[in-house]
Copies of this chain bind each other. A is one copy, B any other.
Amino acid sequence: MDLSQHIRERGLKATPSRISVMKVLESDHRAYAHADLETIFSTMDRVTLYRVLNDFEETGLVHKVIDMDGVTRFAYCKHSCPDTHHADEHVHFNCQVCRKMFCLENMPAPSFNIPKGFKAMGQNVLVFGLCKSCSAA
């Protein structure tokens, strides 16, 4: 799989920053916070990193999810989403101990029977608790 090509297919230039961020996101389908990636890429400008992540999200390469601390995280879209909306609405798991967030890709988010008058457009389902390594320890 050619990451540069994957990025260019969405109309974005395949720059070094984008390629290296995408390499991390693509290799491990966890939702990464800006701070996580800033640690990994200590030399990358922080505004550039924000813009890389937002551009990826807007073009459907990654999806955005808010974690239990209110921090925005980004995760690779297994099957790139149409640029109109994100089609991969699955449950996310957030570990209370290590704070890592996992995409439960084969657990689709259910739909809910919302009271009359409300119009549901989507949902964020977040389960929190202990991840595998933290519940073992």
Which residues of A line the B interface, CB within 8 A?
66, 68-72, 91, 93, 96, 102, 104, 107, 110, 112-115, 117-132, 135-136
Contacts and interface: CB of A to CB of B under 8 A. Distances in A.
B121 A129 contact: yes
Q: Is the interface of A mostly helix, strand, loop or mixed?
A: strand
A39 to B, nearest CB: 20
A50 B113 CA distance: 34
Contacts of A129: 114, 118-122
Contacts of A121: 96, 128-130
The copy count of this chain in the complex is 2
A101 to B, nearest CB: 12
A120 B114 contact: no
A24 to B, nearest CB: 22
A118 to B, nearest CB: 6
Nearest 5 pairs of A and B residues by beta carbon: A117-B132, A121-B129, A70-B70, A119-B130, A120-B129
B118 A122 contact: no
